């Protein structure tokens, strides 16, 4: 199992195919398996190290063999990987809330660049076989992807998102009657925004929980229809009110435009949009399926232009500085924020050629 993205997977795959490898999928994870299969190492962990030394990018991976469970995290630590125990057994997962479901005890995170080997008796061995590199944990895991009921990179996701909402209200106040979270992603930040601003919060948008996330849908027609069946406004709460919509991201702008329109149609007097992340200006090459740069509205439009496009009365984002200052114990330099800054920790191929 592999969480992440290998930026040089295409180049390695082409090289392997030229030398006779046959792939059964387009997954970059299969590249790792082919590299392991070609290794002459006697021990599986040595073969894994040999394979991973050839790849670049993000990986938190687990390997299960006949007598070993092996977990490994890339030297930058882009993606999370946590370790727990249940009786004599050791478990690994991306999020700590997975352990809560089975009453397992969370032990610690697998460190960036660490390989943890568990034998059939449950004995644990830790190695650091890769060259040490600066830690670059994904800030978007905190903001968007992680469930709020767990720990991510040593921080409470719920507490961080509420702190982001408070910072958002501090930086971007507005006279309004009601805070309405865009569920479920905007709920935590909306709680913080309401707490800081003193404006009451109400669930004026109801989510259909049998519909997935819209920004990662491949076709715009599906995304448009998806918003309508995913969210529905509560007219009795919204009508005649100055509403602040709080969400955790604004990627293409199409979803926000639809939401603003439906809230207006429900009778809102004003609709203000507040985003608990900085503008998303660059795509992610390390494991989050963000669109290409020309699809990211903030990459080529000002905040005022985006505001006009989504037809809101005002639009504001939390600042990059506010995003980092809302963290409790971590330091800014430990995080990757390439999707907001364009500062990529690992070079990625351009036009088929490595940079």
Question: Do residues 163 and 123 touch, judged by C-beta distance below 8 A?
Answer: no
pLDDT tens digits along 21-63: 999 999 999 999 999 999 999 999 999 999 999 999 999 999 9
Helix and strand numbers (H, E) in the chain are: 13, 18
| 291: pLDDT strictly greater than 90 | no
Report helix, strand or coil for 344: coil
Whole-model pTM over 0.75:
yes
pLDDT tens digits along 166-213: 999 999 999 999 999 999 999 999 999 999 999 999 999 999 877 655
| 351: pLDDT strictly greater than 70 | no
Whole-angstrom Cα distance, residue 320 to residue 226? Answer: 30
According to CATH, the superfamily of the domain at 2-133 is Aminohydrolase, N-terminal nucleophile (Ntn) domain (3.60.20.10)
pLDDT tens digits along 93-102: 999 999 999 9
Residue 214's pLDDT is 53
pLDDT tens digits along 200-254: 999 999 998 776 555 555 555 555 566 778 899 999 999 999 999 999 999 999 9
pLDDT band for position 74 (cuts 50, 70, 90): very high
pLDDT band for position 355 (cuts 50, 70, 90): very low
**Sequence ranges of the domains in the chain:** 2-133, 157-329
Residue 189's pLDDT is 99
Question: Do residues 68 and 45 touch, judged by C-beta distance below 8 A?
Answer: yes
Which residues lie across from 179 on neighbouring strands? Answer: 201, 244
Ranges of H-type helices in the chain: 9-18, 28-38, 44-52, 97-100, 139-140, 157-171, 187-197, 220-230, 235-238, 254-265, 303-310, 320-325, 338-341
Phi and psi (nearest 5°) for 30? -65, -25
* Average pLDDT of the residues in 53-77: 98
* Residue percentage of the chain with pLDDT more than 90: 87
| 323: pLDDT strictly greater than 60 | yes
pLDDT tens digits along 119-134: 999 999 999 999 999 9
- The dotted CATH code for 157-329 is 3.40.50.2020
Kind of pairing between the strands at 137-138 and 124-127: unpaired
What sign does the CA torsion over 224, 228, 230, 233 have?
A: positive
């Amino acid at each position: 199992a592999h969480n992440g993205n290998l930026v040089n997977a295409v180049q390695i795959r082409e090289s392997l195919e030229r030398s006779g490898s046959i792939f059964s999928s387009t997954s970059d994870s299969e590249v790792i398996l082919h590299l392991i299969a070609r290794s002459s190492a006697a021990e599986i962990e040595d073969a894994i190290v040999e394979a991973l030394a050839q790849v670049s990018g993000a990986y938190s991976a687990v390997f299960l063999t006949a007598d070993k469970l092996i977990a490994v995290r890339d030297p930058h630590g882009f993606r999370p990987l946590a370790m727990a125990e249940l009786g004599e057994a050791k478990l690994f997962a991306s999020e700590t809330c997975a352990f809560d479901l089975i009453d397992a005890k969370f032990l610690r995170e697998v460190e960036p660049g660490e390989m943890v080997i568990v034998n059939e008796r449950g004995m644990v061995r830790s190695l650091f076989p890769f060259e040490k590199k600066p830690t670059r944990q994904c800030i978007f895991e905190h903001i968007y992807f992680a469930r709020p009921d767990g720990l991510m990179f040593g921080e409470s996701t719920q507490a961080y998102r509420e702190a982001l909402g408070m910072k958002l209200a501090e930086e971007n106040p507005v006279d309004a009657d009601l805070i309405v979270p865009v569920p479920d992603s905007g709920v935590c930040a909306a709680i913080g925004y309401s707490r800081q601003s003193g404006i009451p919060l109400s669930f004026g948008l109801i989510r259909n929980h049998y519909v997935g996330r819209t920004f990662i849908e491949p076709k715009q027609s599906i995304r448009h229809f998806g918003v309508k069946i995913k969210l529905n406004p509560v007219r009795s709460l919204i009508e005649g009110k100055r509403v602040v919509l709080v969400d955790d991201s604004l990627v293409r702008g199409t979803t926000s435009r639809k939401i603003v329109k439906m809230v207006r149609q429900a009778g809102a007097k004003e609709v203000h949009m507040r985003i608990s992340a900085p503008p998303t200006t660059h795509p992610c090459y390390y494991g989050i399926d963000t669109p290409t740069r020309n699809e990211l509205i903030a990459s080529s439009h000002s905040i005022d232009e985006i505001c006009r496009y989504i037809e809101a009365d005002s639009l504001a984002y939390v600042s990059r500085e506010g995003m980092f200052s809302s963290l409790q114990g971590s330091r800014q330099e430990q995080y990757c924020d390439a999707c907001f800054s364009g500062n990529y920790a690992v070079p990625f191929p351009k036009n088929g050629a490595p940079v």
